[in-house]
Structure 1
Amino acid sequence: MCGIAGGVWSANSEPLSRSQLEKMLHAIRHRGPDDYGVYFSASEGNGNENDPPSASAALGHRRLSIIDLSGGRQPLSNEDGTIWVSFNGEIYNYRELRKELIHQGHVFRTDSDTEVIVHLYEEYGVRCVDKMRGMFVFAVWDESRERLLLARDRLGQKPLFYRQESGRLLFASELKAILEVSGIPLQVNRQAIDLYLTYQYIPHPTSILSGFQKLPPASIAVYERNELTVERYWKPPYDDPIEATPAARSEALAELRETLTEAVRLRMRSDVPLGAFLSGGIDSTIIAGLMQSLSEKPVHTFSIGFPVHEYDERAYAREAAKFLGTEHHEFLVDPSALETLSTLIWHYDEPFSDSSAIPTMALSEVTRKIVTVALSGDGSDELFAGYHRYRAVDLAGKADWLPRPVKAALAAKIWQKIPTSTRQRSLGRRAKRFIAALGQSPERRYLRWIGIFDEDSRHNLYTREFQESLDGFDSGDFIDDAYAEYPNRDFLTRTTAVDVLTYLPCDILSKVDIASMCHSLEARSPFLDHHVVELAARMPAEWKYSNGKGKQILIEAFSDLIPESIQNRSKMGFGVPIDHWFRNELKPLMKETLLSDRCLDRGYFRPDALKLMIDEHLNGRWDHSYRLWNLVCLEHWHRVFLEGARPEEAVPV
């Protein structure tokens, strides 16, 4: 696992100097503390005056050594030095690809998966990505064509930011690296703020800063002759469903067992110690169980918990570890984990308010003390209908058959005035959210359920000037576009597909990548092997979800690895007690942040609306914890990235 950076520029535009590239790499040194390297194209500074190059390139790399520890230094080239690559990720089937390429006449100098990319590009061009089974972002510079290829893995496990200017393209694994280039303007994208308040993340390809973009998952970008083209090369095959017959289901069960086992086996390829995250839920227990079945000695497993009981899963993790025979380690997180909030904000580059980033960073830190690679169960909930909210989707689908007057009556605001618990996860709160959305389209109803601020609450919060600056922008288009990808499946399946295309890469995978890489830990997700994803995408909804419960076929396929108590337990999630902390230990942080002149002077939010939200939360009239955390993270992002209040680790040495 590593970090990459670089750029391409035309003869008449500003070049990327070596010192600037080294500053970019220094900003992402946490992603690869073991080594670094740079490459400048042979034409850069050395071109024939009579026939100067039209474009030059620079590639940079920070390395976290996982495979071929003594070789595989990057950037790396083919035999004659005409094709160079800088690569972040893992190609899990590199050994099989290497054999094929050698048979086709290619000569290898290292045992690394990086060199496979070079020869795949020689053989297949920009469609080399079709052959790869892994998580990756890479940049290939083709000297003879003066072409830069940027590519991102199918599910979006690895990030890539870029900025296109006049005659120049800059790119890096993290936004902060590009900001090290001198003269880069810092202008906040106001539409990105609206997106952030909607989703708690900023969806691709948008970035928080104007002029920057994120390469979407399953995409390749080709920069040639000062033109950039972005193309999608893969999508989950939800539009090719398996026929729901008993024989097909039996075959799918066997295939699921075989495919996921193979995905775990491939992800255990490593020249450094590895382990697994273990929450005691179904997903992580299956992955840890498969690892243990493939290992000759106890696998290291890691879990984390909280002193607030309803957020603490350590007992389940202990039970799973004992059942599987792993060597288990567990740790506790308390509010002191937020003492370095600026560090969390700095690592995430953009405003990001999934509060589970806090325990994920803490878990990654303690895990890295023992292993360098950790496998996780990420992706299973989206692929096998594991989230609680899919129950609401199923129930609302039945309610859609009710006459329109009945739905209108149920959605009336009077029901929202009935007193209920203020707890975010209480049955009463969920019932209110469910009823309030019944009058909307199924797509916008789902957005209302998963969103942080719905449309009405956002507009009530914004100042008039900020609202006018959005000029009718609709943050819900991101969800609508994802639903439009698969119009012919049942709505529950379409919704899980939407989460695979949106929430999974933009929230879950971004959270895990940043949290793990800030501690130089590589996180691998077997459920996101594209063969597993393709199989799950084609399965009928009733195989995954029935009688109000998800993951049915997954539990059946791996029942021997899951203790019965865990098979039947309710999903807890990986949240943190922000609601409790904001009423107690973190109350001063919240008030100082959101009611400060610095925050109010930005002109985004109405002071009276902010104060009302804080008062309602502190008085226990409503649980605004997720919204308040969303706003706290946004304000601290401004302080860290626009005002220079950066953590000590961000200061160049």
Structure 2
Amino acid sequence: MCGIAGIFHCGTIKPVDPQRVERMCDALVHRGPDGAGVWTAPGVGLGHRRLSIIDVEGSPQPMHSTDGRAVIVFNGEIYNFRELRRELEGEGARFHTDGDTEVILAAWQRWGPDCLQRLNGMFAFALYDRTERTLFLARDRFGVKPLFMAHLSDGSVAFASELKGLLAHPLLRREADPLAVEDYLTWGYVPDHRSILKGVEKLPAGHFRVLKHDTPPAAPRRWWEISFADRRKGSERDLEAELLHHLREAVTSRMVADVPLGAFLSGGVDSSSVVALMSEASRDPVRTCSIGFDVASLDETSYASQVAELFGTDHEARQVSADQFDSIDSLAAMFDEPFADASALPTWRVCQLARESVTVALSGDGADEAMAGYRRQVFFAHEERVRRLLPESFRRNVLGPLGRIYPKADWAPRPLRAKSTLLALAENGAKGYARGLSVVPPELRELLYSSAMRRKIGDYRAEDPLVEAMMKAPARSGLDRAQYADLTFWLPGDILTKVDRTSMAVSLEAREPLLDHRLVEFAATLPERMRVRGTQGKYLLKHAMRRYLPDDILYRPKQGFVTPIADWLRGPLAQQARGIAGSAALARTGWFDTVRISHMADAHISGRADNSRILWQLLMLDRTLAKLGISA
């Protein structure tokens, strides 16, 4: 795992200052503390920070092809590089290293952009072709590895693994994009189609981009997309056997490393399944780690210990205080862009624990998106059946008004929290799912913004790109479209961003075997009854893993990492909650109705309402703006 950065001049060939590229790479030292390199030529500069995983002593970067035609900087892992190497050697290629970077170079020279279809892995790389004088930028199918790009005033394009790499370039403007603020308030993160800074882009997952010296920058091109358009036929037994085959292949392929390797173990279905299959494939005990909390309702370590004992893993658990609020500034610096998923705090802690003994850790991320494991997906599948039964006019004219007057009852038992369900049913399926997925609904955002901010945002609504993606998805059902949205929108923007930044902050490589594209492509073809059965999601996965895991692991209610932000904002962070409206960073922007925010903070602190999620979002936005020195 590594950090990459570079500069490319479009429309001209200007010299690139190697020290400028070096400074961009130095900002990414946490991603690659084991080595560094910079290469420049007229109009281009490539830089690299290395975390050694494969071929520890070899494979320095930037790496040149054998014939000197191509140069590459690469962040990630190619899990099938040995198979590709044998194929390429059979066609005459010669290799001087034992790693995967040189295989990408040879694959590019043999197949061009089509080489991406042959790569099984997580990656973001930049490859300069000295003959064609073009820069080829590519990102993996799901966006496991990030790649930021910025168009600068001198006509160049700069790129880096994280925004902080671009921030090291003196020509980068630090002007906030109001539409990104609308996106952030809606989702709790800035999705991949936007950046908090104007002029900065993220290369979308499953896309590549070709830059040339003599033409303006070309738009990114999609090279892969998940499809739910087909359905696999076969008995449940046959489908289960095929699923297990893909699971085993995904896990074992990600166990290749020349450094210590382990796994995160929460005691949930996904991480427990990964550990079970690792134990099956390993002659030595698997190293596992888990984090617990000193609040019993948040602690899952007993389940993790149960799984560790079942498979005889070399397990380490550590209990941390739920009061981690003193890490807010570190978190803001880690993510660069505002990021309000509070589970980032415990994720960071478990990465710190893992890094004490391993350099690579396998996680269970991706199964919920790929196999319908989220409660919202199951609910949505049932809502879609209701939509088909009820006339649109009744849903719009009766359920909509009823939902608007129904009280918001977060404190009530789940069956009585009907407000969001009624409002969702009044919409079409895509709009209803977007509403359910959002953190702050459009009505509340409208109230929070100042009149000046509302003018800046105009007609744009953050839900629009998600709704459009769902409507155009290669899918056959509402459940398909919900999973497509989670895989292409939520997963890269929230889950994978969280895991990448928190793991890389401690120089740990995290691998996601349940996002093996062959596994996910298979899961997307499963009949709905193999994904959702009654109120249970991930039906086939759970059924397949019954040979390894007990039912109290497979079928217990989903919990996940929970952080008690509501209590923090009434207790140790109460003063900060009261001060959000008047904070210097937010006040300078003029984006918000500060009086309304003050009332929301008072209502939360007094216990009259639970406004913790929006207050946490505003607090993280404030800290990020202050860290970056962003202007409105």
Residue by residue over 1:373-422, the C-alpha shift from the partner in whole angstroms, topping out at 9 and shown as x without a partner, is: 00011010011111111232123223212244366444435785558453
Report the CA distance shift for 1:237/1:369 in structure 2 as closer, same or farther (over 3 A): same
Is residue 556 of structure 2 the alignment partner of residue 569 of structure 1?
Answer: yes
2:166 is matched with which residue? 178
Contact 2:70 2:130 in 1 (8 A): yes
Counterparts of 1:81 and 1:487, CA distance in 2:
41
Q: Name the CA distance, whole Å, in 1 between partners of 2:19 and 2:297.
A: 50
Alignment-derived partner of residue 126 in structure 1: 113
Deviation at 1:448, TM superposition (A): 1.3
Sequence identity (%): 38
1:442 is matched with which residue? 429
| Alpha-carbon distance in 2 for matches of 1:598, 1:270 | 44
CA distance in 2, matches of 1:612, 1:268: 52
Q: Which residue of 2 aligns with 1:27?
A: 27
Deviates more, 1:565-574 or 1:130-139: 565-574
**What amino acid is aligned across from residue 174 of structure 2 in structure 1?**
L
Report 1:374-385 matches (<5 A).
Answer: 374-385=361-372
2:302 to 296, 305, 315: 315
Q: Are the aligned partners of 1:276 and 1:288 in contact in 2 as well (CA < 8 Å)?
A: yes
| CA shift digits 1:208-255 (9 cap, x unpaired) | 101110000000010012332311001112112224xxx343322111
Contact 1:136–1:152 (Cα < 8 Å) also in 2: yes
Which residue does 2:240 correspond to in 1? 253
Identify the residue that residue 88 of structure 1 maps to in structure 2: 75
Instruction: Give the TM-score of the pair, scaled to structure 1.
Output: 0.92
Q: Is residue 2:215 matched to residue 1:226? A: yes
Provide the rounded CA distance (Å) in 1 between the counterparts of 2:217 and 2:451: 37
The residue number in structure 1 matching 2:333 is: 346
Equivalence for 1:391 = 378
Of 237, 247, 251, which aligns to 2:227?
237
Q: CA RMSD in A?
A: 1.9
How far apart in 2 are the matches of 1:542 and 1:263?
A: 24
CA–CA separation in structure 2 for the residues paired with 1:543 and 1:642:
50
Letter in structure 1 aligned against 2:124:
V
SS in 2 for 1:558: helix
**Relative to structure 1, is the Cα distance of residues 223 and 563 closer, same or farther in structure 2, using a 3 angstrom cutoff?**
same
Stretches of structure 1 that go unaligned for 5 or more consecutive residues are: 45-55, 645-653
Q: Is the 8 A contact 1:139 1:150 kept in 2?
A: yes
**CA deviation map 1:152-180 (0-9, x unaligned):** 00010000000124531111101111111
Please tell me whether residue 465 in structure 1 is matched to residue 452 in structure 2.
yes
Contact (CA 8 Å) 2:11, 2:215: kept in 1 or not?
Answer: no
Q: 2:177 aligns to what? A: 189
Partner AA of 1:323 in structure 2? L
| Alpha-carbon distance, 1:264 to partner | 0.6
SS in 1 for 2:138: strand
Asked if 1:214 corresponds to 2:202, the answer is yes
Are 1:205 and 2:163 counterparts? no
User: Take 1:602 and 1:60, find their aligned partners in 2: how far apart are those partners?
Assistant: 35
Deviations 1:12-37 (A, max 9, x none): 46543111111101100000001001
1:182-217 C-alpha deviation (Å, 9 max, x unpaired): 222111101010011111111123111011100000
Specify the alignment match of 2:509 in structure 1: 522
Q: In structure 2, do the counterparts of structure 1 residues 348 and 488 end up closer, same or farther at CA, with 3 Å as the change threshold?
A: closer
Which secondary structure does the structure 2 equivalent of 1:236 belong to?
Answer: coil
TM-score (norm 2): 0.95
Structure-to-structure mapping, 1:210-609, within 5 angstroms: 210-224=198-212, 225-229=214-218, 230-243=220-233, 247-400=234-387, 401-403=389-391, 404-405=393-394, 408-413=397-402, 416=405, 418=407, 420=409, 422=411, 426-427=413-414, 430-486=417-473, 488-609=475-596
2:30 is aligned with what amino acid?
H
Q: Structure 1 pair 417/440, CA: closer, same or farther in 2 (3 Å)?
A: closer
Equivalenced residue count is 626
Q: Determine the C-alpha separation between the residues in 2 that align with 1:543 and 1:428.
A: 26
The residue aligned with 2:156 is: 168
Pairwise CA distance, 1:560: 1.7
SS in 1 for 2:601: helix
**Separation in 2, partners of 1:489, 1:530:** 20
In 2: Cα distance, 1:414 partner to 1:539 partner: 34
Write out per-residue CA displacement over residues 596-620 of structure 1, whole angstroms, 9 at most, x where no aligned residue: 3442332011012101221222222
Q: Is the 8 A contact 2:69 2:130 kept in 1?
A: yes
Counterparts of 1:12 and 1:167 in 2: how far apart (Å)? 8
AA matched with 2:196: I
Query: How far does residue 276 in structure 1 lie from its aligned partner after superposition?
Result: 0.6
Structure 1 counterpart of 2:55, which letter?
A: D
Deviations 1:448-503 (A, max 9, x none): 11111111100100000010111211211221122023365110121111101110
Q: Which amino acid aligns with 1:227?
A: P
Q: 1:336 to 1:506 in 2, by over 3 A?
A: same
Conserved 8 A contact 1:25-1:62? yes
Q: How far, CA to CA, are the matches of 1:592 and 1:418 in structure 2?
A: 28
Aligned to 1:141: 128
User: Which amino acid letter does the alignment assign opposite residue 181 of structure 1?
Assistant: H
